[in-house]
Chain A
Amino acid sequence: MKLPIYLDYSATCPVDPRVAKKMAEQLTMEGNFGNPASRSHLFGWKAEEAVEDARRHVAELVNADPREIVWTSGATESDNLAIKGAAHFYQGKGKHIITSKIEHKAVLDTCRQLEREGFEVTYLNPREDGIVYPEQVEEAMRDDTIVVSLMHVNNEIGVINDIAAIGELCRARKVIFHVDAAQSAGRLPIDLAEMKVDLMSFSAHKMYGPKGIGALYVRRKPRVRLEAQMHGGGHERGMRSGTLATHQIVGMGEAARLVKEEMAAESKRILALRDRFWDQIKDMEEVHVNGSWEQRVAGILNVSFAFVEGESLIMSLKNLAISSGSACTSASLEPSYVLRALGVNDELAHSSLRFSFGRFTTEHDVDTAAAEVRGAVEKLRELSPLWDMYKDGIDLNTIEWAAH
């Protein structure tokens, strides 16, 4: 067995070998290396054809029109283009934006920037289960609300928002609705012909495609307008200039095609793995799953192990590639802002690990992981003065700690 075992699919996925093969065919003199914008020769036409095939595959994954797909460098750029682009374009109608406290930093930091530009942002607090409910969105709406931006699936806890219902609310009030679907595309069925979502962000590397490529869905009917953030040759109908990276785009297209074909079977298999893992952990004392148990994707499990600290837990789990919180914030010593927003106390937030399972995870992987986790937690609890106190029946909340 190969060690360490990779259980961090929410951070990124390996590129599927079938995708890598197609990508490699777009690079060399013998391959399809042309500039898709070259209109005067075969190299350009072939590249354009490959790009348009890929666009169709991404569109089909979410039941959209290929003309509604704009290539970007990834979900971060898609989020920036969607939120800033819509806010700037529609600012004549109002300057109020609604989002939530547990969005990805690409959304939160974009909103902060808009605040500096004079926009007003409401950051909704999810309920304890990690879900932002439609009625919360409705209550926050004002006459000058122009954009609502919410994630479909949270990257740290895997909880699913009811974007169909929130979309109805937004459409009724003619508010632009942006959804970050980086964690849900390819994991949950998405039907944009049905759902009233105006803008949706995608990332290739969360669906076994390459890093450095993503897409933004921009609705045509009713038409959604954006102010471009990247100016240049007018590519992508003026919404995102820059020479199209054929190999990256073909990679994303192939990844989308495969994930659509295999989603039903893959979700079932991953759910079984998740359950198999949890069944080996759940009988431990003081172990809690963060976020709703019912309304979640199969692949993400965020677990708090009370009385042990997350970083030392990861240190003793050196055979497992996992994260405490999201990869984007695990370099800092702060506990996860997502768990905090759920009302998880700091101590439990410090004791949390995110396990994310994926296409290449095996039963043997999850069995090994579960055994290692149990062993490490037991070892660290033996070392933990908090565990002693818990066992003595002392309520840790009654103690006056000297914060440092």
Chain B
Amino acid sequence: MAYSDKVIDHYEHPRNVGRMDDKADNVGTGMVGAPACGDVMRLQIQVNEDGVIEDAKFKTYGCGSAIASSSLLTEWVKGKTIDEAEQIKNTAIAEELALPPVKIHCSVLAEDAIKAAVRNIREKRGLEVKEEAAE
């Protein structure tokens, strides 16, 4: 299977690999996927008082496209508010990375991951959780 240059770049030099304390009040964690399906993403965001994402970290078990999708996502969400971040669409990720049709699910998983992470921080802060983010 041919990968795009951008997928290969993210795969070979993944950005923001790491792990935050998921118990910290200012950290939202989104873990999506399943080992049996061949991909699991853990996306974590560190969010300040104003709801701005100051830092993001990921770890992904999955194919090159899944790793690239989550790596790209961490770059995109940094500096965004959580409201802005949850507007990120999988299609934008798929387009940026030129994912082939069989790999679109990787970008969907990345979208699910940021939504889950935002939901988690909202829950921690007792904020209202939007229904569409609860997938």
Contacts and interface: CB of A to CB of B under 8 A. Distances in A.
Interface of A: 307-309, 311-312, 315-316, 333, 335, 345-347, 350, 382-388, 396, 401-404
B36 A308 contact: no
B38 A385 contact: no
A145 B109 CA distance: 49
B61 A404 contact: no
Contacts, number: 79
Nearest to B38: A350
Contacts of B64: 311-312, 315
Contacts of A316: 11
Contacts of A311: 38, 63-64
Tell which of B60, B61, B66 has the most Cβ of chain A within 10 Å: B61
A312 B67 contact: yes
B17 interface: yes
Interface string B40-72: 111000000000000000011111101100000
B19 interface: yes
Interface stretch (B26-34, B79-87, B88-96): B26-34
Contact of A385 (B11, B42, B102, B112): B42
Contacts of A383: 14, 17, 59-61, 67
Interface string B95-135: 00000001001001100100000000000000000000000
A382 B59 CA distance: 8
Contacts of A401: 33-36, 40
18 contacts: A309-B38, A309-B39, A312-B63, A312-B67, A333-B102, A345-B36, A346-B36, A347-B36, A350-B35, A383-B59, A383-B60, A385-B41, A385-B60, A386-B35, A386-B40, A388-B59, A401-B40, A404-B109
Q: Is the interface of A mostly helix, strand, loop or mixed?
A: helix
Contacts of B66: 309, 312
Contacts of B24: none
Contacts of A387: 61
B76 interface: no
Contacts of A384: 59-61
A402 B33 contact: yes
Q: Is the interface of B mostly helix, strand, loop or mixed?
A: mixed
B38 A335 contact: yes
Nearest to A381: B61
A388 B37 CA distance: 18
A308 B61 contact: yes
A185 B40 CA distance: 41
B46 to A, nearest CB: 17
Nearest to B103: A333
B60 A315 contact: no
Contact of B38 (A333, A388, A396, A402): A333
B63 A315 contact: yes
Contacts of A403: 34, 36-37
A385 B31 contact: yes
A4 to B, nearest CB: 15
A385 B34 contact: no
Given A350-B36, A404-B37, 4 more contacts: A311-B63, A333-B38, A335-B38, A385-B31
B39 to A, nearest CB: 7
Contacts of B35: 346-347, 350, 386, 396, 401
A313 to B, nearest CB: 9
Contacts of B63: 309, 311-312, 315
A383 B74 CA distance: 14
Contacts of A345: 36
A383 B3 CA distance: 19
A27 to B, nearest CB: 35
